């Protein structure tokens, strides 16, 4: 199976409050006067280019300080699918303004994950040069020069000042919800004084934390975000992109609107926690448009409710803790809600898209979505395409004692076949051999069967001395067998199940229906079955909201989130390729592990999900 899955052109066209906004903007021609083209960050080129009123531009702006998680899948889907729906462009932008936490490793994994999800159309048409594909991938750090020029402009226009209060003084003087802030004693410095100070900051003449650049807005504003927010800080740290070129770095709240504007984003979509930042976003861009540094109209920010999934944690800090403290085997541990983990676990890009789409886009609240909805989307997308195979996860030997009687010799092998997929004959056939000795599931044999058990159990003697024969089942794609009992191990448990085969009952032959049975069991030949490690994953946390009410999420880790089975699989699986997804009949969907599985060598399969919803249980 290929590992990139481009979203079909016919993907549903969702309607939500954001599409309403876009429809309105397009009808009004809100962005019709804007220009395309030029390298973002270059204000001159920013003014040139071709008008392209019909296009919208969105962006997905991850900070490369960790791996993407399932919440990001929603944001990715929303931004890229809106661009696709409206024939626009979505930018993948690395919001790398904080050198201390960011690393190339994260940039690489984010880029790979967005592609894996099927959105490599950030390599989209360049509107200025028809037919030319242009990579719409950007780094906030490429705009540091512009951001600095904008800061000098803000000072010159009286909209910013350098504050030398201590961090503690600034915190106290900011006030809180009930208390208005207090102006800094440095607030009334002249632009010339401020400019000199900012330049000194930039030249490394002051210690880290000695002073900051702040916007001059309103220390009494009811919105605390408008009480002279910090724009620049001094931080001597090596940046993954700009190295040691800078010792001052822009704050996220200052950098982000500028990034959007330089890239000529039309609709800047983010999660609800940024709602209170919107007034500053608008204030800043209005000032820079006024000053002629940016084009009008500036981008607008729209907020939607973030995705929360039951039994899942999406805080990067907590995910990092799980990795660093060794509670999981790494960022791509198949139990992790990172997209790298979900990929390794076997989740499909199609399922993640379907899930994101179904979870809706709303202005209100941070609703919780049931994990079962993700698994349902997964089964729906896997069932039509996953080839079937037989695998015995908890093997016990079964010996057919009358084999030579029926087939002439103990060494005879009886060919059987099965469709690769029950509804897709074009996917071909699997062929395997039935022999005298097989592996079957240990749980398919019961010495004393509970009521309603239709699989193998031995003959029984009734109180009156009469004997009921052992139960009959069909070996799937093979013959009907009758259970004769089991040999025991020292502990008294069954070690080998004994059976006899009923002649002329082979599946697909006229005699197949001559004996009616209530049970069908799966099996793998002992002569050609292959050993495989099968990893059975369960939810990582036992509680639906692991960190609710300040609970330590580590206290509700599921101790049984991973069980490893030494299984036997049908011979064809020896050639399964890493990331190939299969349905093991009766057991669920599995994927050949993308790291540890080796075709023709060590076989490792991860359970993606069961055949039915088991989250409720
Ligand atoms: P952190 O945990 O460090 O705050 P983050 O998860 O917010 O990080 P970012 O890299 O800042 O990660 O996010 C990139 C984009 O993904 C942002 O636009 C953010 O709004 C969006 N996003 C993050 N989490 C979710 C979520 N659970 N649902 C929807 N969108 C999300
Ligand atoms: Mg964030």
Q: CB 63: neighbour CB atoms within 10 A?
A: 17
Whether the bond into 297 is cis, omega within 30 of 0: yes
Compare 34 and 45 and report the one with higher pLDDT.
34
| pLDDT value at 616 more than 80 | no
Assign domain 160-251 to a CATH class.
alpha beta
69-97 residues labelled b (16+ CB within 10 A) or e (exposed) = bbbbbbbbbbbbbbbbebebbbbbbbbbb
| Spatial contact of 528 and 356, defined as CB atoms under 8 Å apart | no
**Residues in Cβ contact with 353 at an 8 Å cutoff, skipping those fewer than 6 apart:** 7, 11, 73, 77, 81, 117, 118
Least confident of 43-52, 261-270, 343-352, 401-410: 43-52
Residue 214's H or E segment, with its range, is strand 212-215
Ligand 1 neighbourhood includes 137 CB (under 6 angstroms): no
Confidence of residue 48 (pLDDT cuts 50, 70, 90): very low
Least confident of 34-48, 254-268, 360-374: 34-48
CA separation for the pair 104, 209 (Å, rounded): 26
| Nearest one of 617, 582, 540, 83 to 348, comparing CA atoms | 582
| pLDDT value at 120 more than 50 | yes
CATH 2.40.240.10 domain extents, the chain: 389-525, 529-609
Task: Name the residue with the closest Cα to ligand 1, atom 26.
Answer: 71
Active site residue 102: no
| pLDDT value at 106 more than 80 | yes
- pLDDT (tens digit per residue) in 326-378: 999 999 999 999 999 999 999 999 999 999 999 989 888 767 888 899 999 99
* Confidence (pLDDT) at 12: 60
Confidence of residue 575 (pLDDT cuts 50, 70, 90): very high
**Residues in Cβ contact with 569 at an 8 Å cutoff, skipping those fewer than 6 apart:** 389, 390, 391, 392, 524, 529, 530, 532, 584, 603, 605
* Confidence (pLDDT) at 349: 96
| Nearest one of 462, 457, 464 to 485, comparing CA atoms | 457
Strands (E), 480-549: 480-488, 494-501, 519-521, 523-525, 530-537
What's the pTM value of the predicted model, to 2 decimals?
Answer: 0.90
Compare 40 and 398 and report the one with higher pLDDT.
398
Task: From 271, 312, 366, give the residue whose CB has the most ligand 1 atoms within 8 Å, as the site to mutate.
Answer: 271
Read off the pLDDT of each residue in 273-298 and give the average, rounded to a whole number: 95
| Nearest one of 468, 437, 439, 474 to 456, comparing CA atoms | 474
- pLDDT (tens digit per residue) in 135-182: 788 999 999 999 999 999 999 999 999 999 999 999 999 999 999 999
Ligand 1 neighbourhood includes 321 CB (under 6 angstroms): no
Least confident of 81-95, 283-297, 464-478: 81-95
* Confidence (pLDDT) at 235: 97
* Confidence (pLDDT) at 88: 85
Regarding the domain with residue range 17-142+254-315+342-375, which homologous superfamily does it belong to in the CATH classification? Answer: HUPs (3.40.50.620)
Residues above pLDDT 70, as percent of the chain = 91
Ligand 1 neighbourhood includes 346 CB (under 6 angstroms): no
| pLDDT value at 258 more than 60 | yes
**CATH domain 389-525 topology:** Ribosomal Protein L25; Chain P (2.40.240)
| pLDDT value at 313 more than 90 | yes
Read off the pLDDT of each residue in 373-388 and give the average, rounded to a whole number: 95
> Was domain 529-609 assigned CATH 2.40.240.10?
yes
Compare 44 and 329 and report the one with higher pLDDT.
329
Residue 230's H or E segment, with its range, is strand 230-234
Least confident of 27-41, 147-161, 210-224: 27-41
| pLDDT value at 46 more than 50 | no
Read off the pLDDT of each residue in 402-412 and give the average, rounded to a whole number: 97
> 254: CA distance to ligand 2 center in Å?
14
Pairing of strands 530-537, 604-609: parallel
Which range, 30-34, 131-135, 262-266, is most confident?
262-266
| pLDDT value at 27 more than 70 | yes
CATH 3.90.800.10 domain extents, the chain: 160-251
| pLDDT value at 43 more than 50 | no
Read off the pLDDT of each residue in 243-265 and give the average, rounded to a whole number: 96
Ligand 1 nearest atom to the CA of residue 64, by list position: 10
Owner of token pair 């106290």: 172
CA separation for the pair 266, 488 (Å, rounded): 73
CATH 3.40.50.620 domain extents, the chain: 17-142+254-315+342-375
| pLDDT value at 190 more than 90 | yes
């Amino acid at each position: 199976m290929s590992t990139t899955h481009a979203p079909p052109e016919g993907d549903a066209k969702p309607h939500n409050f954001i599409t309403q906004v876009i429809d309105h903007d397009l009808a009004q021609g809100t962005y019709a006067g804007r220009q395309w083209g030029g390298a973002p960050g270059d204000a001159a080129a920013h003014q040139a280019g071709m008008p392209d009123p019909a296009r919208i531009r969105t962006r997905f702006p991850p900070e490369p300080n960790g791996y993407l998680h399932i919440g990001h899948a929603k944001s990715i889907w929303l931004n890229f699918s809106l661009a696709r729906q409206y024939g626009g462009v979505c930018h993948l932008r690395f919001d790398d303004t904080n050198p201390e936490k960011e690393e190339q490793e994260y940039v690489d994994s984010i880029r790979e994950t967005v592609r894996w999800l099927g959105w490599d159309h950030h390599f989209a048409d360049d509107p200025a040069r028809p037919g030319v594909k242009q990579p719409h991938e950007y780094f906030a750090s490429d705009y540091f020069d512009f951001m600095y020029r904008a800061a000098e402009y803000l000072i010159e226009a009286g909209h910013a000042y350098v504050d030398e209060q201590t961090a503690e003084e600034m915190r106290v003087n900011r006030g809180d919800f009930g208390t208005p802030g207090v102006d800094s004693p440095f607030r009334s410095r002249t632009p010339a004084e401020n400019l000199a100070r900012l330049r000194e900051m930039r030249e490394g003449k002051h210690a880290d934390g000695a002073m900051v650049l702040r916007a001059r807005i309103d220390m009494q504003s009811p919105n605390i975000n408008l009480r002279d927010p910090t724009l620049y800080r001094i931080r001597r740290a090596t940046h993954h992109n700009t190295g040691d070129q800078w010792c001052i770095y822009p704050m996220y709240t200052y950098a982000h609107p500028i990034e959007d504007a330089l890239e000529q984003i039309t609709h800047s979509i983010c999660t609800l926690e940024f709602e209170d930042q919107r007034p500053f976003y608008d204030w800043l861009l209005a000032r820079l448009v006024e000053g002629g540094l940016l084009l009008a109209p500036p981008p607008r920010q729209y907020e939607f409710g973030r995705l929360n999934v039951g039994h899942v944690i999406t805080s990067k800090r907590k995910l990092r803790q799980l990795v660093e403290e060794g509670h999981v085997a790494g960022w791509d541990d198949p139990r992790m809600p990172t997209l790298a983990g979900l990929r390794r676990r076997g989740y499909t890009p199609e399922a993640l898209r379907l899930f994101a789409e179904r979870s809706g886009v709303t202005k209100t609240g941070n609703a919780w979505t049931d994990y079962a909805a993700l698994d349902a989307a997964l089964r729906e997308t896997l069932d039509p395409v996953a080839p079937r195979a037989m695998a015995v996860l908890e093997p016990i030997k079964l010996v057919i004692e009358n084999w030579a009687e029926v087939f002439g010799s103990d060494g005879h092998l009886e060919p059987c076949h099965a469709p690769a997929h029950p509804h897709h004959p074009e996917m071909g056939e699997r062929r395997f051999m039935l022999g005298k000795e097989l592996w079957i599931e240990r749980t398919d044999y019961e010495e004393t069967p509970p009521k309603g058990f239709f699989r193998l159990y031995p003959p029984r003697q009734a109180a009156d001395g009469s004997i009921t024969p052992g139960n009959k089942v069909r070996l799937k794609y093979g013959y009907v067998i009758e259970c004769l009992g089991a040999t025991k191990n020292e502990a008294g448990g069954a070690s080998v199940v004994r059976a006899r085969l009923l002649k002329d009952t082979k599946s697909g032959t006229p005699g197949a229906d001559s004996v009616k049975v209530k049970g069908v069991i799966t099996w793998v030949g002992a002569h050609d079955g292959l050993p495989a490690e099968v990893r059975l994953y369960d939810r990582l946390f036992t509680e639906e909201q692991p960190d609710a009410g300040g609970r330590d999420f580590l206290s509700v880790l599921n101790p049984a989130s991973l069980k490893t089975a030494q299984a036997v699989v049908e011979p064809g699986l020896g050639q399964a390729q890493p990331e190939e997804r299969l349905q093991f009949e009766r057991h669920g969907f599995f994927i050949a592990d993308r790291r540890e599985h080796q075709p023709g060598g060590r076989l490792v399969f991860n359970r993606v999900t069961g055949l039915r919803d088991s989250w409720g249980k």
